[in-house]
Amino acid sequence: MIKKIFLFSLFLTTNLTTNLFLVTNFGYSQSGNPKFDALLNQVQAKPGSIHWEGKGALIEDKASLVKGTNGIYVLGSHLSLSEEPSQVHLAVSEVVNGVVAINQRSFTAIINGPVYEVSGKVTFKVVGKSVSGTFTGDLYEIKGKKAKAEEKSSGKIAGNFTGLTLK
């Protein structure tokens, strides 16, 4: 009798755990908003890698490439897996083979605390859905609580990225 109760208890526990796991995964993987679900799918994709240098910092990090609901792509430090306090996020209007301008001083780099706007260019190499390339640009420091960056460049930034997926 004890053996039967134990087996029933084990079966019930296993089923409850499995069902909770399925419900939990279902609950976190779908929001009901198709645009948000598409973004979530991109963020959950296998990360690539990014290596960059700016203001004396050499950074190696996980990377992501996400197409926003406005059609702008954001390339840079992974939005959820990055473990680096220094990060870079570059906005571009398209991901195609060749050189694409970083949107006019619209995105940022955080290097050892200070925040910078970035302007420059990205050179993409696209093979199927696989994306790699390089980027170079100028840094414009945003000092204190100011909303605008300095007019004069504070330095250079350069790097490369590999293993990204175009969705």
Residues 121 and 63 in one domain: yes
Residues 63 and 133 in one domain: yes
- Residue 135, in any domain of the structure: yes
- Residue 153, in any domain of the structure: yes
Predicted TM-score (pTM) of this structure: 0.73
| Paired residues of 145 in beta bridges | none
- Residue 38, in any domain of the structure: no
60, 163 contact by CB (below 8 A): no
pLDDT digits (tens, 9 = 90+) for 64-91: 998 887 889 999 988 677 778 888 999 9
- Residue 107, in any domain of the structure: yes
What is the average per-residue pLDDT within 30-42? 64
Phi, psi for 15 (deg, rounded to 5): -65, -45
61, 84 contact by CB (below 8 A): yes
Domain that holds residue 21: 2-30
Q: How far apart are CA 165 and CA 162, in angstroms?
A: 9
Residues 25 and 51 in one domain: no
pLDDT digits (tens, 9 = 90+) for 84-143: 888 899 999 999 999 999 987 667 888 888 899 999 999 999 999 999 999 999 999 998
